[in-house]
Structure 1
């Protein structure tokens, strides 16, 4: 079939029923209308405008015929998860009120959707995924309505009340379709909310479910003519509520519904018989939890507007969880280019669950996401993440072994080079997301993440958890993270956690990343290459790993090595996702060659770093270091050879100008007097635990023979640090100046 260009224009307001067919003269009015008919090789070309929709591509392309979604050249195309909220009523002072029927939100109301999940720390309060936006900027969720009247914030505060919202309303046990086999509570295919528990009689059940939660059961056998479904239910904590049975999705066709009465005796089990619309054969059954009061009730949003009447500007509220995200797995070979994607009510995205974001790939292969601006996600901006299943956010409060189970499950669910990963994420601008700029668990393997600018991540510090960074990857096997600019992240800049074997982190600029390090390497076994990076934050690198190679980096903050971690985590065969074995994080087996290290000594004596050391001296496994420059208080380790100790402190100066970021570094030409070797696979050898060489993803040898700007290094005696030639004055480090123009 010949490739087509399908045209979309918000101005047309037509989606096909009134004659729109996607031609240039009769364009579709929404991107979703074009996605519904797009085939491999097609291009969906979107004219300028604001598109208030969630694009859920129903199909992907092929390696040689992707489906491309592109903004029209030189036009601003905004796809947003928010809608305009007009008609605000004044309450008092700076506080205004907006009311809307809760039914407007359909199956997803971000003002009852609580942020939660594995490794999440709410810091003693409740957070919702929704938000309020005034002229493009977002307000901060208050802890209570009273706070809006007694406190203020430069960004403004908001708070919502929702009639009928309730926590812990129902527990769900066995499902018995009329004429079909029993469906156990632990066979669910997807979980959004609640946890799996065991009743005193040994039967499994889901509990802790609140209004808006839902469970999906795939392949439920409804027999030949199912007219009712029996469900084991119990009022959870005495709450009670309404159960809806829907086809396929939480807002799919309603099969039937039933009420679970509140009780003074919670967790008393009974059978609820729900009459349903006749159905037969294998169905996808979604059980949604709500209350009748919520379904008939109102959502009221209160907000501070210090600038005056909100009706004089544009105020928006969230109505969608994502913006460009497939609901099904294996929607492969999608290209997304040139859009502004923003305002998504995303939930927490730990590695053990589906990782939704403003835009994401959802366990697919071969996406290209380029030249987009991605912002204002309550949690994550861009996801190359894991699929969802019935174990989502049930990871025993974040212990290591259950995540190893997730990895084993993922291997059975297609975690391999031919089915998942191999994405390209390049030249995007990602900012103002409160968990991560880019997140990925397993689905990020074999990918290239290059040329992205990521900043102001987790800048508000309203909540916390072990998954916050400018870029946070698990399982990034053979992934390249190169030439990115990551700054003003309240926690880590780049955090590689578990199984990033064969990854390369090269030519990145990181700075102003709070008190956490620019680079955190956790539970890696190598080989892992860190080369030509400029790390300027107070803490440059924390290493709770082994088998890492640092070459030609500038590290101006603390470097700390963890001394003991008894957790055991997987390693792999070469360039593969299979589990070859498990190993702990016994420190050592590192390589440090030709770096400039300015980090002051003292990290080891700081109580915060009682189990860390500030050099390689605490390594148990052998380490290798040569040709490094140590300035100021930085000192060589016991493994260092041919080190240069520069007594005077060196303070790199990074300055932002109208045409970019400029770095001044007092490098000494005399450092070249020390003979250094080009860092190659031959010099680096093999990482001890997997017994594998440092090499490129295609098996070719590594050679760090170019610098931060891709200038060729001296093959006889390369200069230390990220620049091959000493730089006498400020040099533009972002956007990168070509080597020949420095």
Structure 2
């Protein structure tokens, strides 16, 4: 027998949870709901950390948490503060007993953990005025005399970049804590905080189980915001504002998620497999602890039967300090699609090597498709064990970088994407297939010989071996590469000197004496054919069947009209004359290190015959992500 429980702001936790007599809190419903039950939450703000207690049992016997149809339901990790006293000019303060925060005070807790590179004493707290977040000052002088900062240093590229929404930088806060109280100072300028909506971060999460193994949960239709989430590197516990906490089979759909101090949705690891030991113990590199976490996870039941297989779809995620979606190990076999992710990692109050719209480690068989990702520090970063992963038909624009694949041996597929950032692609991996993409922007190709990383039995978490990243073993077919003034390294010419078949590679290797030393010296084979190079993009020297138009400017632009996004470009007169073949398991060649084919997650052969817009390609069709591209002017809706 299944039940439908109701939660409403006029309810009571002493009620039975019916529509006529609803509960007051979502947690009360969570404490009684079991497999097959549905929890319907009615309109209003719920300031609580929802901690699911019970697990669903299967895809069809799950526990569903949903906002009532047509009703706006917000779950917040913040509390409203009305008690402000004016200190000096436009600076106000509020003093709260530490008991107000319980055992987790975000104004004591600093941004801390492995791979945090820059943090001038900033904390997990935040202050919001009518929904807009402030910036944490480093001292009281900055609160009294805030300056508008229009540019900051991007620590990864060492370039100065614009601050997102720089007018907000004048709104700042600073906190002092002692044994008994926490005092928060804020500069509200012309606003009176006693008359406006002012909120502060209080709780770590909005919807996140305390226990692991809470499986088959659906979370649908909520707004979730303003959580004091901690830094989430791959070597630590990874709580997000929302997430399954080392479980299986969650569906997270149709939500609006924003203002997480660090990460919004986490599908990552838990604490027993390592928790910032590099930063705490300081005795081994983070790389070593990350290796250990993979084996600790195996001992903790990291298998397809127990972990992962989540669906994250149709969500809007924005204004988070570290990640829109994050996960190490716990993300395996998941599907992430139709999400709109933006304004991630742009406040730059802190910085580390784990920031992106989507940042996944060990995304085995994860399918990332049809997402709109823009105005992020980095769009998507796939790091370690990118195997069986497919990134398909995603729209990237106005990011500082679009896509980064690191220290992985494949096979992985990057197909039918639109990448338009000035810095489009970081390829520090091997064994990838880049098919039918539009790539406008800088491309960086690097080897990583000093960090051997695991690879797996295909479609499994079982470790099969370790390998350094030699560079190469990549495939580029049917792509359109576009350079522009001031851009460099656009195209495939960085593979010049690489062999073009496994047979040629083996022959060269065995002309060199030694064992592993020979493999370190010889470039891996690459398979590059039927690409277009426009406006100065450069081709691989041994490529056959290509279009080269050095002086042709396609006038590429991405424009927004409301929630719709359009791609405009001009293509050469001979564009339609060269057609690319549909790529399949049979044409892409097995990857060398893993000795595995490019396949679907279920092990069946894959055929890349569906374009960005969902149209079926003929056996031969035009290059790029959209099969109806044509010579001359193109103006195509690519979102909305």
Q: 2:77 aligns with which of 81, 84, 105?
A: 81
Structure 2 counterparts to residues 276-675 of structure 1, below 5 A: 294=179, 297-389=180-272, 391-395=274-278, 396=282, 398-490=285-377, 492-514=378-400, 517-599=401-483, 615-617=494-496, 619=498, 620-647=523-550, 648-668=552-572, 670-675=574-579
For the Cα contact (< 8 Å) 1:558–1:601, is it kept in 2?
no
Q: How does the TM-score come out when normalised to structure 2?
A: 0.90
The match for 1:695 is 599
Shift of residue 644, structure 1, vs aligned partner: 0.7
The match for 1:265 is none
Report the Cα distance in structure 2 between the residues aligned to 1:393 and 1:159, rounded to whole angstroms: 26
> Structure 1 residues 424, 669: CA separation in 2 closer, same or farther (over 3 Å shift)?
farther
> Structure 1 residues 316, 614: CA separation in 2 closer, same or farther (over 3 Å shift)?
farther
Q: How does the TM-score come out when normalised to structure 1?
A: 0.77
Report the Cα distance in structure 2 between the residues aligned to 1:639 and 1:398, rounded to whole angstroms: 40
Report the Cα distance in structure 1 between the residues aligned to 2:61 and 2:362, rounded to whole angstroms: 28
Report the Cα distance in structure 2 between the residues aligned to 1:713 and 1:134, rounded to whole angstroms: 50
Report the Cα distance in structure 1 between the residues aligned to 2:21 and 2:497, rounded to whole angstroms: 69
Q: 2:65 aligns with which of 66, 69, 76?
A: 69
> Structure 1 residues 614, 348: CA separation in 2 closer, same or farther (over 3 Å shift)?
farther
Report the Cα distance in structure 2 between the residues aligned to 1:71 and 1:319, rounded to whole angstroms: 23
Report the Cα distance in structure 1 between the residues aligned to 2:489 and 2:583, rounded to whole angstroms: 32
> Structure 1 residues 553, 321: CA separation in 2 closer, same or farther (over 3 Å shift)?
same
The match for 2:5 is 6
Shift of residue 60, structure 1, vs aligned partner: 1.2
Report the Cα distance in structure 2 between the residues aligned to 1:618 and 1:11, rounded to whole angstroms: 71
Report the Cα distance in structure 2 between the residues aligned to 1:107 and 1:29, rounded to whole angstroms: 24
The match for 1:733 is 638
Report the Cα distance in structure 1 between the residues aligned to 2:482 and 2:254, rounded to whole angstroms: 35
For the Cα contact (< 8 Å) 2:137–2:173, is it kept in 1?
yes
Shift of residue 563, structure 1, vs aligned partner: 3.9
The match for 2:502 is none
Q: 1:160 aligns with which of 154, 175, 181?
A: 175
Shift of residue 694, structure 1, vs aligned partner: 0.4
Residue deviations 1:484-517, cap 9 Å, x none? 0111112x11000001200000000001112xx2
Shift of residue 601, structure 1, vs aligned partner: 9.4
Structure possessing the higher radius of gyration over alpha carbons: 1
SS in 2 for 1:79: strand
The match for 1:40 is 35
> Structure 1 residues 599, 400: CA separation in 2 closer, same or farther (over 3 Å shift)?
farther
Structure 2 counterparts to residues 214-229 of structure 1, below 5 A: none
Report the Cα distance in structure 1 between the residues aligned to 2:98 and 2:580, rounded to whole angstroms: 67
For the Cα contact (< 8 Å) 1:602–1:614, is it kept in 2?
no
The match for 1:120 is 116
For the Cα contact (< 8 Å) 2:489–2:537, is it kept in 1?
no
Shift of residue 391, structure 1, vs aligned partner: 3.2
Matched residue pairs, number?
588
SS in 2 for 1:566: strand
Report the Cα distance in structure 1 between the residues aligned to 2:285 and 2:81, rounded to whole angstroms: 38
Report the Cα distance in structure 2 between the residues aligned to 1:614 and 1:349, rounded to whole angstroms: 36
> Structure 1 residues 466, 613: CA separation in 2 closer, same or farther (over 3 Å shift)?
farther
Report the Cα distance in structure 1 between the residues aligned to 2:192 and 2:230, rounded to whole angstroms: 31
SS in 2 for 1:568: strand
Moved over 4 A (4+): 600-606
For the Cα contact (< 8 Å) 2:429–2:447, is it kept in 1?
no
Report the Cα distance in structure 2 between the residues aligned to 1:550 and 1:640, rounded to whole angstroms: 15
Across the aligned residues of Structure 1 and Structure 2, the Cα RMSD in angstroms comes to 1.7
Which segment is superposed worse, 109-118 or 396-405? 396-405
For the Cα contact (< 8 Å) 2:76–2:227, is it kept in 1?
yes
Residue deviations 1:519-575, cap 9 Å, x none? 100011010000000001001111000000000000011112114432100000110
Shift of residue 137, structure 1, vs aligned partner: 0.8
> Structure 1 residues 587, 24: CA separation in 2 closer, same or farther (over 3 Å shift)?
same
Shift of residue 390, structure 1, vs aligned partner: 7.2
Report the Cα distance in structure 2 between the residues aligned to 1:640 and 1:110, rounded to whole angstroms: 56
Shift of residue 706, structure 1, vs aligned partner: 1.3
Shift of residue 298, structure 1, vs aligned partner: 1.2
Report the Cα distance in structure 1 between the residues aligned to 2:480 and 2:470, rounded to whole angstroms: 26
SS in 2 for 1:350: coil
Report the Cα distance in structure 1 between the residues aligned to 2:122 and 2:100, rounded to whole angstroms: 21
Which segment is superposed worse, 297-306 or 617-626? 617-626
Does 2:22 match 1:27? yes
Report the Cα distance in structure 1 between the residues aligned to 2:101 and 2:542, rounded to whole angstroms: 61
> Structure 1 residues 613, 529: CA separation in 2 closer, same or farther (over 3 Å shift)?
closer
Report the Cα distance in structure 1 between the residues aligned to 2:454 and 2:375, rounded to whole angstroms: 32
Residue deviations 1:133-167, cap 9 Å, x none? 1111111100011211122443200001111xxxx
Report the Cα distance in structure 2 between the residues aligned to 1:563 and 1:547, rounded to whole angstroms: 12
Report the Cα distance in structure 1 between the residues aligned to 2:220 and 2:38, rounded to whole angstroms: 11
Report the Cα distance in structure 2 between the residues aligned to 1:29 and 1:444, rounded to whole angstroms: 33
Shift of residue 82, structure 1, vs aligned partner: 0.4
Shift of residue 75, structure 1, vs aligned partner: 0.7
> Structure 1 residues 398, 459: CA separation in 2 closer, same or farther (over 3 Å shift)?
farther
For the Cα contact (< 8 Å) 2:8–2:24, is it kept in 1?
yes
Report the Cα distance in structure 1 between the residues aligned to 2:18 and 2:497, rounded to whole angstroms: 67
Shift of residue 683, structure 1, vs aligned partner: 0.7
Shift of residue 25, structure 1, vs aligned partner: 0.8
Structure 2 unaligned residues grouped into runs of 5+: 149-166, 499-522
Report the Cα distance in structure 2 between the residues aligned to 1:75 and 1:618, rounded to whole angstroms: 61
SS in 1 for 2:621: coil
